[in-house]
Structure 1
Amino acid sequence: MHYGSGSVVSSRTGFTPTGSPRPSRPGQIDPGIIDGIAGGADPSVVSEMSHASAAALLDRVRHDADTDPQIVQRVLTLVDREGVDLIAELWSRSEPDSLPGIMWRLYTLRSWMRRDRDLISRLWRLGEPVATTASAIAGIDQAPDEDDIARLADSILSGAFTGDFAVALDRASAFTDVVAQGLHVEAKRMSAIEQRERAARLLHTAGNLMVTSRDFRHGAQLWRQGKLD
């Protein structure tokens, strides 16, 4: 993400990157689902498939991770290796209070963090100048470098598959809150008239991040209540 560029959009699509080419190869999901989408499936059918595929992916990894450690790495890098087209088609239009909607946000959060790790590490330092509970919840140092951001990106997503799913969402929420605050600090430094438009874009992006942070927090609450499906 280049902040203020519109590459983080509204809460309906969370951290969906825009303006970058997408690999055309689809993710490794049941061929029957692919056929259904290719034929222009009914929206209700697509919704059913999105929920089923998210639940199946999460369930399989949770059951197989102990016997096959490499499965976590394969799922973690699914978008990197296979492309995001099919996952986006299945999950990106799902409501933020649903499992596929939350899974989409987690995957795109990881992609964004790894792609713009240098920028994000700087925004974190602006938003979290002293260690607070956000650092502890997210699981990152007060002044992370770009490698720390990349490791955190993997840690949050892999934790959703191998640990407490709600805790992973809490970590994602705390992280996006701080980065959003960093964007606010950056915008306030832009006082010159010619910088006002850019500052407005930063604040718009920060607002989108705050909404997505709330989506993560709400998802964590629903998961703990057994209502995230």
Structure 2
Amino acid sequence: MRPSRTGFVASGRGSARPSRPGQLDPALSDQLSGGIDPQEINEMSHISAASLLDRVHHTQDPKIVERVLTLVDREGVDIIAELWSDADPDSLPGILWRLYMLRSWMRRDAEGISHLWRLGEPTDTAASAIAGVDPAPSAEDIARTADSILSGAFTGDFAVALERASAFCDVIARGMKASVRRAEGRQAPVGQTGQAKPGGEDGGRRKTQVLGSAASLNQTARDFLRGASLWRRSRLD
């Protein structure tokens, strides 16, 4: 196994507390760009994920938390994807990858997601309480929730953060399915024969894409729930 400095490392200056816990080791960047053994990447993914999580759990410095929270924003997604994106969903790097990608998506399309939430969760339910979102969130509410879920994973109860992420994904998946039903329920254009025209090829493709995204989100929700269960049993590594 490689030492923890192989992945995410401190700057190495000043106090023992790292000033940039999310900084990628330049040597690792060079290795990844040149191509290395998949087993070594797998080992690096587990070491870097555990190191990053452990480091933030043992600090009270809000600047460090902020740097970890915005890791993908600052470092870009490519190298992090090289490390974590192929990791099994039953592993810590696989779960962290999904959390970071969920946050990125929530912030990138906060307006659209707020609409999907209102479709999927029109009234307060257990999912609303678990995810921490009210029935009519604004885009700003979605962005704040995105940060809250990810920061909670690093500074609070990791399993609870995963349960929040799971509940959120489930509601958005329901919203996607509701949007398809709503589109199908709208009156279709009427042709010369007086018969309603179908949505056409484009409409069919759109429906397939949306339902495919909903199915993917449902699977991600299950991954988060399983991750929470494994974490509580000290089996997520």
The alignment's TM-score, normalised by the length of structure 2, stands at 0.82
Corresponding residue for 2:223? 215
2:180, 2:36 → 1: CA distance? 44
After TM superposition, list the pairs within 5 Å mapping 1:111-150 onto structure 2: 111-150=104-143
Q: 1:34 Cα shift?
A: 2.4
1:32, 1:79 → 2: CA distance? 19
Corresponding residue for 1:34? 29
State the secondary structure of the residue aligned to 1:140: coil
Corresponding residue for 1:73? 66
After TM superposition, list the pairs within 5 Å mapping 1:53-132 onto structure 2: 53-64=48-59, 66=60, 68-132=61-125
Structure scoring higher RCO (CA < 8 A, sep ≥ 6) equals: 1
2:210, 2:58 → 1: CA distance? 42
One-letter amino acid matched to 1:33 = L
One-letter amino acid matched to 1:53 = S
Deviates more, 1:165-174 or 1:76-85: 76-85
Corresponding residue for 1:175? 168
1:152, 1:219 → 2: CA distance? 20
State which structure, 1 or 2, has the greater radius of gyration over its C-alpha atoms. 2
Corresponding residue for 2:233? 225
Determine what percentage of the aligned residue pairs are the same residue: 64
1:164, 1:171 → 2: CA distance? 11
Q: Which runs of 5+ in 1 are unaligned?
A: 1-26
1:38, 1:185 → 2: CA distance? 43
Q: 1:100 Cα shift?
A: 0.3
The C-alpha deviation readout for 1:40-79, integer Å capped at 9, x for no partner, is: 2111110000000000000111112x1x221001111111
Corresponding residue for 2:9? none
2:93, 2:28 → 1: CA distance? 15
After TM superposition, list the pairs within 5 Å mapping 1:158-197 onto structure 2: 158-191=151-184, 192-194=198-200, 195-197=203-205
Q: 1:36 Cα shift?
A: 3.0
The C-alpha deviation readout for 1:88-136, integer Å capped at 9, x for no partner, is: 0100010111000000000010000000000000000000011100000
User: Structure 1 residues 186 and 34, CA, compared in 2 at 3 Å: closer, same or farther?
Assistant: same
Q: 1:175 Cα shift?
A: 0.1
The alignment's TM-score, normalised by the length of structure 1, stands at 0.85
User: Structure 1 residues 190 and 196, CA, compared in 2 at 3 Å: closer, same or farther?
Assistant: farther
State the secondary structure of the residue aligned to 1:190: helix
Corresponding residue for 1:51? 46
Q: 1:225 Cα shift?
A: 0.5
Corresponding residue for 2:192? none
State the secondary structure of the residue aligned to 1:228: coil
